[in-house]
Amino acid sequence: MTDSSGAKAAMIEISGLRKDYGSVVALHDTELSVPTGEFLTLLGPSGSGKTTLLNLIAGMASPTRGRIVINGRDVTEVPAEKRGLGMVFQNYALMPHMTVSENIAFPLEIRKVPRAEIRRRVAEVLDLVRLPHVGDRKPKELSGGQQQRISIARCIVYKPDLILMDEPLGALDKKLREQMQLEIRRIHKELGITMLYVTHDQEEALNMSDRIMLMNARRVEQIGTPDQLYFAPRTQFAADFIGASTLLDATVAETGEPALLRLSASESCRVRLHSAAPVGTVGKLLLRPEALRLVQNGQVTAGHNVLHGHLDNTLVTGATSKHFVTLDNGATLAIQELTDPSTTRLEPGLRVQVSWPPETGRFLEN
């Protein structure tokens, strides 16, 4: 699957793809290239267009314009059943009248695979999803997590080039969801099948993805690795949607390395700009709770920013604790630290300082 330049060939190549329903835009012009073997997550709130994009790729809806190329084949006009894809649904979509084995054998029967080989491959994928003994049961007799494993097995048994997953863990409880995330990652690693995964759960996206495509208001907001989206969000929406964040009003007061941001009449801080924003640019300062430190009595590391306020309250959530601080300018922010009795026992109302190094803040233009 590598071409002469050594770069991986694209499994999905989407250009100028758009979907309208009458006068309503369901998906604005979208470009996307997914290398073979990648685990790409479409992340966004409901109504952001991620399901529309998935349906267009699956062939369940046809685009208003644009092209979809899968594994080198233009499938824009090809009906769903001829695209050779796999799909996993939130509600499993297992056939209730068929046994687990019959469900998994169904796509193989369509492909006219000989009976003996069907038996062998069904047993093989049941082993792969670690449910070797449920072949004779009906889907209803299995738990939600088990049913979703069967639906994944039904998908990988015919080795599609690409597997689409539409919020597959949405119906499961939190603990099972985390277990299944690992399971899906393991299967992805073992088989190397390209996966396109839709979720609205940012934590799930960060856990599982090679890359995340963040969608908002029916267009692509940002695409990048989990690291890039978390540490280098390009927009306020991206900063707010992924991870916990505090966004403070800010204006560029001085450019330079680092630049000076004015937060209020009396407060300012230093930050490294990642774009050439001229003096006077208005935007927000993004601060992640875990990058902030709660300080008392002005014991601030030299060169770090500091803001003054008073402690509202403290929540001990286990290994980490959260402090909520109201700044003198009225804004509130959250600080997350490893639980330490010397700070968790502070009285609410106490004057405190919040400090952070210039490189961890991020200025996002309006």
Partner 1 sequence: MQIRTTNAHVRDAAYAMPAALFMALLFALPLFSVLHQSLQQENGGGLTIQAYAKIFTTPLFLRVAYTTLEVSISATVFSLLLAYPIAYFLAKQSPRRRALYMILVLVPFWTSSLVKSFSFMVLLGQSGIINQMLGAFGIAPVKMLFNRFGVMVGMSHFLIPFFVFPILTSLRSQPLELAKAAAIMGAGKLRIFLRVTLPLSLPGVMAGALLVFILSLGFYIIPALLGGRQDMMFANLVDFYTREALNWPMASAVAVLLVAAAALAAMLLSKVRGGSSILSEEGH
Interface residue list for partner 1 (CB under 8 A): 58-60, 79-87, 89, 91, 93, 95-97, 106-107, 110-111, 154, 158, 164
Question: Which pair of tokens denotes residue 97?
Answer: 């009248």
Q: In the complex, what is the shortest distance from the CB of residue 15 to partner 1, in angstroms, rounded to a whole number?
A: 23
**In the numeric block, which tokens belong to residue 293?**
């430190």
**Residue number with CB closer to partner 1 (52 or 314):** 52
- Beta carbon of residue 46, minimum distance to partner 1 (angstroms, whole number): 18
Q: What span, in angstroms and rounded, lies between the C-alpha atoms of 217 and 305?
A: 35
Nearest to 258 by CA among 336, 128, 356: 356
Tell me which residue has tokens 């090679």.
210
State the nearest-atom distance from the C-beta of 342 to partner 1, in Å.
Answer: 53
Compute the distance between CA of residue 284 and CA of residue 239 in angstroms, rounded to an integer. 10
Q: Which is nearer to partner 1, 161 or 249 (CB)?
A: 161
How many whole angstroms separate alpha carbon 204 and alpha carbon 183?
13
> At 5, phi and psi to the nearest 5?
-75, -10
Looking at beta carbons only, is 86 or 258 nearer to partner 1? 86
Least gap, CB of 233 to partner 1 (angstroms): 34
Cβ 161 to partner 1, closest distance in Å?
13
Q: Which is nearer to partner 1, 59 or 258 (CB)?
A: 59
Least Cβ distance, residue 28 to partner 1 (angstroms): 25
Nearer to partner 1, 194 or 202 (CB): 194
User: Which pairing describes strands 211-216 and 39-43: parallel, antiparallel, or unpaired?
Assistant: parallel
DSSP 63-90: -SEEEEEETTEE-TTS-GGGS--EEE-T
Name, in order, each residue with C-beta under 8 angstroms of 102's C-beta and a sequence gap of 6 or more. Answer: 95
In this complex, which beta carbon is closest to partner 1, that of residue 61 or of residue 134? 61
* Closest distance to partner 1 from the beta carbon of 16 (Å): 24
Q: Pick the closer one to partner 1 by CB: 66 or 84.
A: 84
Which one-letter DSSP state was computed for residue 8? B
- When the beta carbons of 164 and 333 are compared against partner 1, the nearer one is 164
Helix orientation angle between 115-128 and 144-156, rounded to the nearest 10 degrees: 130
Residue 287 CB, nearest distance to partner 1 (Å)? Answer: 42
Name the 3-class secondary structure at 326: strand
In the complex, least distance from residue 79 CB atom to partner 1, rounded to whole angstroms = 8
Closer of 105 and 333 to partner 1 (Cβ): 105
Give DSSP secondary structure letters for 208-277.
Answer: H-SEEEEEETTEEEEEE-HHHHHHS-SSHHHHHHSS--EEEEEEEEE-SSSEEEE-SSS-EEEE--SS-P
* Residue 195 to residue 176: CA distance in whole angstroms: 20
Q: Token digits for 319? A: 């290994």
Q: Cβ(121)–Cβ(113) under 8 Å? A: yes
**Choice between 79 and 348, CB closer to partner 1:** 79
Q: Give the helix/strand (H/E) hosting 341.
A: helix 341-344
